[in-house]
């Protein structure tokens, strides 16, 4: 059951962004409203930002939930994603889900996952949400969380778009240990789990619970877009193997053709593979980048584009807009 701490405490939050870095459309974005929801799991108040058009209370309207990155929280500037929602007339919801990933209740925990579901429940009670168009997206840590929600709660969303996300937390921990010393992201993981992978059976079970790779098989009937820039892991913090392996977990569950180990190795070395995609496909124009690799399996799609550790709002939302599937709404 979802509780509002107090609708009377709802305030308008202004997100400062340098004007020179904004497009005209972004500068003119309608203000986001802040509300605090009381977690249905531990009763702790959790902030959420949202925006909706006036008609969203009367007309069936898509819901777009966007998730902040690994080191951010609900105050992170995601104006480009907000702008896409406004442009399309979608309800926009930006939950905190326990903020920066450096505490036990953050980093994909059951509490963080419930915070996202609570935010969806809030939106479906406040507005007339179209149950066939409940969309979820995120970049980096938000991509990790988007994939994790797809695996743990595939029935709650109509489509999920995950960008440069982490799918295997133990593997990512090891990637950020240099000369035996945990670096920044590895230290944040230690703060979240209370120990390194292999520390105990309890800790390992927690890593498994919060790593999307172990749950993606349940997303086989959910439209899923997984994207990564081919230079990530070199100029960014998340190797593209996390996206490719997550896709393979879904493909394998659907008995579809997986990406071969040889092709994954080639892509990790930023080399072309035999079935690399051609940029002639019309829906790739929104990327504004060369497409280095694309593969589909059932309702899942993976795209490796010429770029780094980044999410691209327009192709993400274009793809989401093309998806429709009834999601479970709890009332």
**Distance (Å, whole) CA 37 – CA 14:** 19
Length of the chain (residues): 331
Asked if 65 and 136 touch (Cβ cutoff 8 Å), the reply is yes
Per-residue pLDDT, 281: 58
With contact defined as beta carbons under 8 Å apart, do 73 and 139 qualify?
Answer: no
Question: What local confidence, expressed as pLDDT, does residue 25 receive?
Answer: 52
Question: For residue 17, is pLDDT > 90?
Answer: no
Looking up tokens 């579901």 gives: 117
For residue 50, pLDDT over 60 is answered with: yes
Residue 10 has pLDDT above 90, yes or no: no
DSSP letter for 289, please.
S
Q: What is the pLDDT of residue 11?
A: 32
Per the prediction, the chain carries an average pLDDT of 91
Compute the distance between CA of residue 144 and CA of residue 3 in angstroms, rounded to an integer: 27
Report how far residue 26's alpha carbon sits from residue 19's, in angstroms, rounded to the nearest whole number.
9
Quote the tokens at residue 192: 């979240």
What pLDDT was estimated at residue 279?
Answer: 40
Neighbours of 328 (CB within 10 A): 12
The larger pLDDT score, comparing residue 275 to residue 160, is at: 160
Q: Which of 45-49, 58-62, 152-156, 269-273 has the lowest mean pLDDT?
A: 269-273
Q: What percent of the chain has pLDDT over 70?
A: 89
DSSP 8-state class, residue 184:
H
Q: What is the pLDDT of residue 12?
A: 31
- 221-230 pLDDT, tens digit per residue, is 999 999 999 9
Fold exhibited by the domain 3-168+211-321: Rossmann fold (3.40.50)
- Is 25:87 a contact under the CB 8 Å cutoff? yes
> Whole-prediction pTM value?
0.91
């Amino acid at each position: 059951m979802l509780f509002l701490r107090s609708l009377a405490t709802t305030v308008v939050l202004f997100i400062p962004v340098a004007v020179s870095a904004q497009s005209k459309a972004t500068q003119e974005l309608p203000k986001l409203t802040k509300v605090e929801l009381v977690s249905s799991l531990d009763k702790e108040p959790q902030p959420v930002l949202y925006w909706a058009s006036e008609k969203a209370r009367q007309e069936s309207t898509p819901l777009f939930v966007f998730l902040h990155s690994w080191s951010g929280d609900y105050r992170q500037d995601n104006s480009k994603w907000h702008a896409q929602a406004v442009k399309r007339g979608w309800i926009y919801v930006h939950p905190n889900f326990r903020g920066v990933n450096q505490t036990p209740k953050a980093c994909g925990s059951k509490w963080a996952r419930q915070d996202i579901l609570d935010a969806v429940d809030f939106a479906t009670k406040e507005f007339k949400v179209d149950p066939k168009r409940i969309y979820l997206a995120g970049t980096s840590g938000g991509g990790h969380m988007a994939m994790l929600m797809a695996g743990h709660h595939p029935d709650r969303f109509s489509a999920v778009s995950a960008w440069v996300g982490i799918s295997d937390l133990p593997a990512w921990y090891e990637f950020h240990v240099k000369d035996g010393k945990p670096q920044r992201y590895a230290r944040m993981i230690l703060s979240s789990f209370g120990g390194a992978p292999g520390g105990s059976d309890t800790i390992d079970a927690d890593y498994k619970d919060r790593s999307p790779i172990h749950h993606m098989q349940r997303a086989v009937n959910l439209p899923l877009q997984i994207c990564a820039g081919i230079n990530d892991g070199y100029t960014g913090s998340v190797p593209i193997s996390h996206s490719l392996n997550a896709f393979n977990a879904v493909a394998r569950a659907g008995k579809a053709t997986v990406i071969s180990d040889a092709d994954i190795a080639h892509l990790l070395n930023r080399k072309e593979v035999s079935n690399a995609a051609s940029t002639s496909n019309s829906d790739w124009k929104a990327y504004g980048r060369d497409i280095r690799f694309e593969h589909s399996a059932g309702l899942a799609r993976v795209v490796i584009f010429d770029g780094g550790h980044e999410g691209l709002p327009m192709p993400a939302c274009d793809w989401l807009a093309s998806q429709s599937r009834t999601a479970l709404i709890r009332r």
